[in-house]
Amino acid sequence: MVDKCCFCEKKYERESQNGEFVYKFNCPCCGQYSITREIIDDKIFDNTCLSANYKNPHYLSSNDRNIFSGVLQRRKDKQNGQTLICQEYNNTLPDYKQYTLENIKEEVERINNMTVMDKINEFIKYIAQNSQCLDYTVEYSYSEFSKFYCKEEREIRAILKHLEENKIITYTKEPEEPEQPRVVLTVSGWNKYEELRQINEKSKKVFVAMWFDSTMNNTYKAIQEACKECGFEADRVDKTEHNEKICDKIISKIKESRFIIADFTGQRGGVYYEAGFAQGLGLDVIWTCRSRKSDTDNLHFDTRQYNHVLWKNEEDLKIQLIDRIKATIK
């Protein structure tokens, strides 16, 4: 059966359908992902059947879907496992990286807030991280522009032109494949990549992603004390006065930090988002969670692979965190 990807809209052969609960897609561009039936029924991908007087609050515009396609493409490239698009997190499917509609909108907003230089730097990092050695050729397609957080194909073409003019890259196109440039990072390009990696090395700031709840105040205090003991200053957005949108402030704070501490007690979706964003910038993430079974059993599949600091109480967290910071942050 020929079908169309819900995000990039490329055609492909649908492989299977998992009962009535989950629809499975295997897009050549976005990779494998699944969508729950309730998402499909909510018509977030199709506004044509709705009354002209009704605006679906969950509807994802074509631009939003295209942007999120880039997120899926990145996951496919990193072979990060199965992805599920769902209304809310489902504990019966722990092996999936799950994106709720709220998560998708957060990702879209984050990418919309990226500057031109953010996108250029992301492209440089992508080429470097996919190069096995100096003078290594990395191939990609112009049609995958959303992978580099671009909204249109001409944007990625402009980035290539800029980088070539500044001798950061060289690229060639074969006559039989003109839409698939072959990119090589120059020595100047590798120097730029090393500069990007070192941007935060002198920072003493630590961004803390955690549950904003009064029961977690002593937990945050323990994190602050552990960071201070190691010569760093912990901060979280709800403890900072600001007039910006909280999402903009979070992005700014993470970019200023040497590393982040992500505590998953309470299983807040924002913590997963902030930890993932920091990883995308190449920052170290220290993963923590209260050792209570109801918290550890619900850790998402794609974060379980990391060595979490599992703490019993605030003093235990402080002691373990000091050891982890000293061992991992050079």
- Length, in residues, of the chain: 330
Instruction: Report pLDDT for 51.
Output: 44
Distance CA 18, CA 33 (A): 12
Which whole number is the average pLDDT over 285-300? 83
Binning pLDDT at 50, 70 and 90, where does residue 17 land?
A: low
Binning pLDDT at 50, 70 and 90, where does residue 137 land?
A: very high
- Architecture label for domain 205-328: 3-Layer(aba) Sandwich (3.40)
Residue 273 φ then ψ, to 5°: -60, -45
Question: Residue 131: is its pLDDT beyond 80?
Answer: yes
3-state secondary structure of 181: strand
pLDDT digits (tens, 9 = 90+) for 60-109: 888 888 889 988 888 887 776 778 888 777 766 667 778 888 778 878 88
Instruction: Report pLDDT for 50.
Output: 41
Instruction: Report pLDDT for 322.
Output: 93
The total of other beta-carbon atoms located within 10 Å of residue 264's CB is 23
**Percent of the chain's residues with pLDDT above 90:** 29
Of 38, 36, 41, 111, the residue nearest 72 (C-alpha):
111
According to DSSP, the β-strands at 31-36 and 83-86 are parallel
| Cβ-contact 325, 309 below 8 angstroms | no
Compare 109 and 326 and report the one with higher pLDDT: 326
What pTM did the predictor assign? Answer: 0.63
* Range with lowest mean pLDDT among 15-19, 51-55, 67-71: 51-55
Burial of 1 (0-12, 13-18, 19+ CB in 10 A): exposed
Q: Does domain 116-198 have CATH number 1.10.10.10?
A: yes
Those residues with Cβ within 8 angstroms of residue 8's Cβ, 6 or more apart along the chain or in another chain: 27, 29, 30, 65, 66, 69, 146
Distance CA 252, CA 257 (A): 9
Those residues with Cβ within 8 angstroms of residue 85's Cβ, 6 or more apart along the chain or in another chain: 6, 33, 34, 35, 36, 39, 98, 99, 104
Stretch(es) of the chain classified as CATH 3.40.50.450: 205-328
Question: Residue 261: is its pLDDT beyond 90?
Answer: yes
The alpha carbons of the chain give a radius of gyration, in whole angstroms, of 21
Stretch(es) of the chain classified as CATH 1.10.10.10: 116-198
Of 262, 253, 268, the residue nearest 219 (C-alpha):
262
pLDDT digits (tens, 9 = 90+) for 210-219: 988 888 999 9
**Tokens at residue 330, please?**
């050079």
